[in-house]
Amino acid sequence: MDIAVIGLPQSGKTTVFNALTGGHSSSMGAGDAGPLQVGVVKVIDPRLAVLDGMYHPKKVIHPEIKYWDLPPIDREAASANQVLSGRQRNILQAADALLLVIRAFEDPALLHPLETVDPARDVKLLLDELSLADLEALEKAEARLSDGLKKAKPAERPAMIPLLETVQKVKAFLEEGIPMKSQKLTGSETAALVDFQLLTAKPVMIAFNVGEDDKAPTLESLGISSEVAVGLGEVGLCAKLEEDLSLMEADEAEEFREAMGLDEPAVERVKQVCYSTVGLVSFLTVGEDECRAWPVPAGIVAQMAAGTIHTDFTRGFIRAEVIAYDDLIRCGSLAQGRKEGVLRSEGKTYEVKDGDVINFLINT
Helices 13-21 and 266-278: crossing angle, nearest 10°? 100
φ, ψ dihedrals at 179, nearest 5°? -65, 160
Q: What is the dihedral of CA 19, 293, 36, 181, to 10 degrees?
A: -100
What does each C-alpha distance from 295 to 59, 243, 339 come to in angstroms? 17, 26, 29
Q: What is the pLDDT of residues 46-76, one digit of tens each?
A: 999 999 999 999 999 999 999 999 876 654 4
Per-residue pLDDT in tens (0 to 9) along the chain, 364 residues:
999 999 998 999 999 999 999 878 887 764 545 678 999 999 999 999 999 999 999 999 999 999 999 876 654 444 545 677 777 888 899 999 999 999 999 999 999 989 999 999 999 999 999 999 999 999 999 999 999 999 988 898 998 999 999 999 999 999 999 999 999 999 999 999 999 999 999 999 999 999 988 899 999 999 998 888 989 999 999 999 889 888 888 788 788 777 777 777 888 899 999 999 999 999 999 999 999 999 999 999 999 999 999 999 999 999 999 999 999 999 999 999 999 999 999 999 999 999 999 999 999 7
CATH tag, 299-362: 3.10.20.30
Q: Cβ contacts of residue 219 below 8 Å, gap of 6+? A: 123, 206, 228, 229, 232, 234
List the beta bridge partners of residue 320: 346, 360
Question: Range(s) for CATH 1.10.150.300 in the chain?
Answer: 128-200
Per-residue model confidence as pLDDT tens digits over 212-238 = 888 999 999 999 988 889 899 999 999
Numbered ranges of CATH 3.40.50.300 in the chain: 2-45+61-116+201-278
CATH code given to domain 2-45+61-116+201-278: 3.40.50.300
pTM for the whole structure: 0.89
Mention every residue, 6+ apart, whose C-beta is less than 8 A from residue 149: 157, 160, 161, 164
In terms of CATH architecture, what is 128-200? Orthogonal Bundle (1.10)
The DSSP H or E segment spanning 91 is helix 86-93
Cα(229)–Cα(346) distance, integer angstroms? 38
